[in-house]
Structure formats: C-alpha cells, structure tokens
A and B are shown apart, each in its own frame.
Chain A
Amino acid sequence: MSTKASRSSARLMISPAVILLLGWMIVPLVMTVYFSFLRYNLLQPGETPFVGWENYYWFFTDPSFSAAMWNTLILVGGVLTITTVGGICFALLLDRPMFGQGIIRIMVIAPFFVMPTVSGLVWKNMFMNPVNGIFGQIAKGLGFQPIDFFGQIPMASIIFIVSWMWLPFATLILLTALQSLDQEQLEAAEMDGANWLNRFWFIMLPHMSRAITVVILIQTIFLLSIFAEILVTTNGGPGVATTNLTYLIYVSSLLQYDVGIGSAGGVVAIILANIVAFFLMRMIGKNLDA
C-alpha cells in the first residue's frame, strides 16, 4: 500500500525522465512552429524575417499539395485494407495444425525484419525492373510484355511493397488473438450445427476485433509517414504520382532548402495526423475500452 510520502517521492524520482521526454518532444515542435513563420531559405542566408502565414500560403498552393494529400490517403487506405484482410486470412491459415508450422510462421513474419530501404531496392531492382527483374523475365518467358511497375502503376507498386512489409505485423497480432480463442466455444458452436463461415463471422471475427483495432491504429500512425520506400523506388514520381505529404515536406526542406515552407508543411502534417488519430479513436478506439 503506497503512502502519501512514497507517492510523492515516486513522482519526484520519475520527474527527470518525464521532463526530459517532454522537452525532447516540445523543443523541436516549438522550433518547427517558429520556423514556419520565418522566411528561411538556406540558399539565401542572412536575415530570416517574420512573414506570418506566407509559408503556409506557399505550402497550400504548392502544385503538388492536393496530389500529396490524396496519395497519403490512398497509400494508408490501400495498405490498411490489404494488410488487415490479408492478415486475417494468414492468421486463419497459420492457426491450423500443419507440417513445419514453426518454420512457416517464421518465414511469414520475416519481411517485417527487412529494412524499408533494403526491401524497396530489392523489389525495385530484382523483381519489378521490367528489363532485368524476375517479373519481367517471367512475363517475357510467357510471351507477354513486361509491366513497367514504377512507370505504369507506381502507386499500386508502392502499396504492394509497403503491404508486403506490414502484412507480417498484422498476421502476428491477429494470430495471437486467434490463438487465445477458447477452442471449446468453437466446438460447442460446431455441435450446434454452425458451419465454418458462421463460426468465423459470429465467433472468430468478434474475438479478433480488438486486435484488428490495434493493427489499424498502429499501422495508421506509421503509414502516414511512409518515406524510405518512396525515396528509393520512385522519388515521388513519375510526376507526383507517389508524392505523399512526408515526401512533399522532404522536397521543400531538403531539395529546395526552404526550411520555412518545410516547417509549415511539418505543422500541417502534425495537425492532419492528429485529426486522423482523433477520428480513428472515436470510431474504433472504443473497442479498446471493453
């Protein structure tokens, strides 16, 4: 039983860590907001005058801005759909007893351990390259024209690569949930005459709903800031076909060296991410309360 004194001493002891963490978060945030109101271009050094909302004006009127917003949503939505549905399917398959189960499970999870840059380069050069890639060679072998993945279907290709990376995560979480399901419940339903589809729909899926929520929440947070896969494969193109919000901020800050506009973009991204998080928590987060 904690006393008043032990509670306050605990607070005292934990405070340095809390202050450090808060500072760690707040200092860059405040600096970003501050820079977003300055005319601050690295290529034109000297004064950095206060310009009000000018950087926000330039960021919102950037010809790539609306495309970047759409691309961000399409990327997040696409990957979430594929990984959640795919994750459920894989979890159901892996839950069944089979020969070499351990090895198969490790193989399914393996892509999650590959670094984003490495997987992007491997997919781009070894698989999806229309001249030297394996897919191109197979297509040619079968008498078809090879698909130029990053030229003809750039966004679908990126969604595919990112989904490949995140599918193991979804599978892992959902498989764990499925394994915690009481087998007797399923047997009882089977004895009552419920077929597999009914057992899946009325027992397994509701049981997995919390895990699905966790998968969607965590993935959304990470998918909003996908960057490495885009940088090493398409560089945001062709045109702006794969430019998402993160990539647009990178273009402003590090290709045009405009810290002011880049910071304005950063602030916009933070606000948008919080709006998305708010609605997500409202819509599906209540699952977590139960």
Chain B
Amino acid sequence: MSIKRTLLTSAVGLGLTAGISASAWAEEITVATVNNADMITMQELAPMWEEATGNKINWVVLEENVLRQRTTTDIATNGGSFDVMFIGAYETPIWGAKGWLTPLDDFAEDADYDLEDIFPLVRNGLSAEGHLYAVPLYSETSFTFYRTDLFEKAGIEVPTEQITYTEFAEIAAKLHDPDNGIYGTCQRGKAGWGENMAFVGTVANAFGADWFDMDWNPQLDSPEWNAAIHYYVDLMTQSGPPGASANGHNENRALFKDGKCATWVDATSAAGDVRNPDTSSVADVTDFFKAPRQETDKGTGWFWSWALAIPASSQKVDTAKDFLKWATSKEYFEAVGETKGWVAVPSGTRKSVEEDPRRLEAAPFATTIVDAILSVDPADPTRDPVPYTGVQFVAIPEFQGIGNYVGQQIAAALAGQSTVEEALANSQRFAVREMTKAGYIK
C-alpha cells in the first residue's frame, strides 16, 4: 500500500513538474506569411504543432508585396516584430550575409529532420558563406503550360525537345482566337521585379542578355536586351490578351484556369492548382513542356524558393527553430498529403516526397517539375559570364529598386505608352544612376 502510494505520489509529482515546465516553456511566436494556398494550408495544420508543443502561433498574413515590405523594413531596422518570416531565395543569402538571420546549421545534426533529403540546389540557394539561413517549403522553376485539346485541334505537335522562342511565337499565333475568347499566350505584364521581370528576365537570358557585365556596368541598352524586349512586346501584342500590362501571376493563373489561354510560361508551383479538377476548368487538358530557349538555353527557367527563416532579432529562437523543423519536415508533407491530397503537397524541396508513390500517382507531372528545377543553375545563369548569382533576379540589395523600375518601363512598352528603345534607354539610365549611388561603379 505504502509502495503504491509512494509510486502514485511520485507519478503525480512528475506529472506536475512536467506540466509546470511545459507551461513555463510554452511560448507564442509571431509568424509573418504570404497569403498563398500553401501557406493557408500550413495555418490549417499548425494546430497539430501547437497541441504537441503547447506553443501558440500568432499569424500575420499579408499579400506578397506587402509582406516583402514589412519583413524587409522590420529586419533592416532590427524591429523584432516577427519570430519567423516567410522569405525567398532572393532575400535569404543577402540577409544571411548581413547577419540579419539566425543560422540553421544545427538542423544537419537532426537525423529525423534529414537535411540531406532537401535538394542541394535548394539548400545552396538558401545559404550564404557556408551557412544555412532558411529551410524551404516549396521551390519552383518556370515551364510552359499548354492546352492539349487546343494543340490537337490546331494540329500542332507537342514539342519533345526545348523549342526556341521564335517557334513558340508561331505556335501562339496559330492558337490565338480572341473571337472565341482564347488567347494564344498569357504572360506576365504587371510591373515588378517579382512579377513581369521574372518572366522577362528569363526571356532576356534566352536571348543572350545579362543585367551587368563583370565590372557591374548595367547592360540594359545592349542589342540582346533590345531583341528580347521587342520579341516580348510583339508576342504579347500579336497573341496575348488585351490589358496584358495589368496581368501578374495570379491574374494569368485565373485566365488559364478559366480556359482563356492556350499557353503560359510560368511557375511550376501553379501546376498542382491548374491540374486540380476542383479549382480548374482545364485540369484534364493541361500539360507541360520546358520553357523555350533562343540564343542559349542557360537561365531559361527561373529559380525560386519560399522558405522559413528566423530573424536575428527574435527572442524565441528555440521555439521558432522547432516550428521551422516541423513545418518543413517529412511529417508535415505527409500531413498535407493525407488531408489535402497528394496533388496539393508543396513541391520541389524533398527527394523522399517527390519519389513517394502516392505523390507520383496523384501528380504524374511531379517528375517533370523536379527535373526542371534541378536543371537550373543560379550560379551560371547567362550566356556570358556575370558577377552575380540568380536567374530572374540579381542577388544584390539594389536589385529590388532597379528591377521594379525596369519592370515599369517594360510594362509601358507593352502598353504602347513608350517604345522599346525608350524603355530600355530609361532603364539603362536608372540602373547606372542606382549603381553609381550604391558605389558599384564610379
């Protein structure tokens, strides 16, 4: 009896201690996130982590551009408003190198997390100076979405090899049927370094253009840029929808899903949504091939990751790390697959997920996406050697300003507000001014 009582008392005591320590450690972390489908799924599943750890999450959900402004301002001023931030492949290496992010090198020691399972290309894109600064939720490149039914009707053979942009324009022109509400191609036209310049940047790469030469002199007035932008404007004028200069990724995605576009070169991460019969009217007549090439095949598909990082200013690093591990773990991807269907699993980060038979059955295009992602090399994005990394962006802090301005000028050329020559001359002047201001060139 006495032994029993002693045991019982100790058990209660232990339980109490555990309870007290769990509640003493329980913390609330603030997570700044973008409002896209993958992040909304994460919010729905986050109670799993909250219940398991006793911690709470305070979500700050923002539209992509606003999120970028808020997080950049907060981290640059050491504001400390967030414990976890969703950031991309552009910000991570720059912010990491500045010491604004907490290094995540210890993730490699956690066997359950299995850092090696994440594609090396993705890990490298989220590292700076040998340290890992963010862990990915999904990664993407760009490829061509096309309508199999329209190709068949027009008697166009589906390309098996990477075609040129000239050939692509011919296909788009053949499929262009605005009277019946079908546009030959829908491409991004809305200004912004993460909007139209993502697509335009890859077209420029394909035409052999680059942003800067080895001495950081802007190259926007080069014949290659001229040819690329003329091509882009002609393509959209001849085979694009009206008002293309206002269409960004989301607008084009809606147009494509609505059956209004015959082709679309955009993010692989949209494939799951477009092929999902619940959300798309063209789910069973959409397939994919590589983004076209022209003078070169280098940098013709972009590279991007949405990832989780912890600002150096966070006071709750351990809890934040625990959340990061859970939100990008195999267990999390499994949970998404089970609750949302394997077609909705965030793509392009973990080898084990991409090879999972359940994923391959639900999303037969998964292999195409992974192959496309792995064929990108952000360290060697252009025909000629350049001093920067990044395919559709240049990994320097000044690029946001330059990219946005150039994006506006290209949008003006697309809308017919200026000529291609004027747009590029203005862009060159602006880029020279910004690079001079920042001290890259004298």
Name A residues whose Cβ lies closer than 8 Å to a Cβ of B: 42-45, 58, 61, 63, 124, 129-131, 136, 145-146, 148-152, 154, 234-241, 251, 254-258
Contact = CB atoms under 8 A, between A and B. Distances in A.
A162 B387 CA distance: 46
Given A150-B245, A235-B191, A257-B72, A63 B414 contact: no
Contacts of B246: 124, 129, 148, 150-151, 234
Interface in B244-272: 244-246, 255, 260
Contact of B191 (A146, A149, A238): A238
A146 to B, nearest CB: 6
Nearest to A131: B241
B429 interface: yes
A154 B417 CA distance: 10
Dominant secondary structure at the B interface: helix
A163 to B, nearest CB: 21
Contact of A131 (B69, B98, B255, B433): B255
B191 A148 contact: no
A238 B243 contact: no
B294 interface: no
Given A63-B426, A63-B429, A254 B401 contact: no
Interface in B62-89: 69, 72-73, 76-77
Interface stretch (B13-21, B314-322, B339-347, B403-411): B403-411
Interface string B390-415: 00000001101100100011011111
Interface of B: 69, 72-73, 76-77, 98, 190-192, 241-246, 255, 260, 397-398, 400-401, 404, 408-409, 411-418, 423, 426, 429-430, 433-434, 437-438
Contacts of A130: 241-243
A238 B417 contact: yes
Contact of B242 (A61, A124, A148, A239): A148
A146 B412 contact: no
B242 A131 contact: yes
B423 A239 contact: yes
A124 B247 CA distance: 11
B242 A146 contact: yes
A61 B433 CA distance: 10
A257 B73 contact: yes
A237 B412 contact: yes
A256 B400 contact: yes
A239 B401 contact: no
Contacts of B400: 255-257
A-B CB proximity, top 6 nearest: A239-B412, A256-B401, A151-B415, A42-B76, A43-B397, A130-B242
A131 B261 CA distance: 12
A240 B437 CA distance: 21
A235 B411 CA distance: 11
B397 A152 contact: no
Nearest to B411: A238
B77 A240 contact: no
B73 A42 contact: yes
Q: Which of B246, B401, B417 has the most CB of A within 10 A?
A: B246
A279 to B, nearest CB: 31
A238 B397 contact: no
Contacts of B434: 256
7 contacts: A43-B76, A44-B438, A150-B243, A150-B415, A151-B417, A254-B73, A257-B73
B76 A151 contact: no
Nearest to B186: A131
Given A238-B411, A239-B417, A148 B243 contact: yes
Contacts of B413: 239
B426 A235 contact: no
B408 A237 contact: yes
A259 to B, nearest CB: 9
A151 B401 contact: no
* Most chain B CB inside 10 Å of its own CB: which residue of A154, A236, A238, A240: A238
Nearest to B412: A239
Nearest to B255: A131
B243 A151 contact: yes
A239 B73 CA distance: 25
A230 to B, nearest CB: 12
Contacts of A255: 69, 400-401, 404
B245 A238 contact: yes
Contacts of B404: 251, 255-256
Contact of A63 (B69, B245, B430): B430
A145 B179 CA distance: 10
A257 B413 CA distance: 26
Nearest to A149: B243
Nearest to B181: A131
Contacts of A238: 191, 245, 408, 411-412, 414-415, 417
Nearest to B191: A237
A42 B255 CA distance: 37
Contacts of A145: 242
Contact of A241 (B72, B401, B417): B417
Contact of B411 (A237, A251, A258): A237
A131 B243 CA distance: 8
Contacts of A258: 401
Nearest to B183: A131
A235 B242 contact: no
B13 to A, nearest CB: 51
A43 B437 CA distance: 13
Contacts of B426: 63, 239
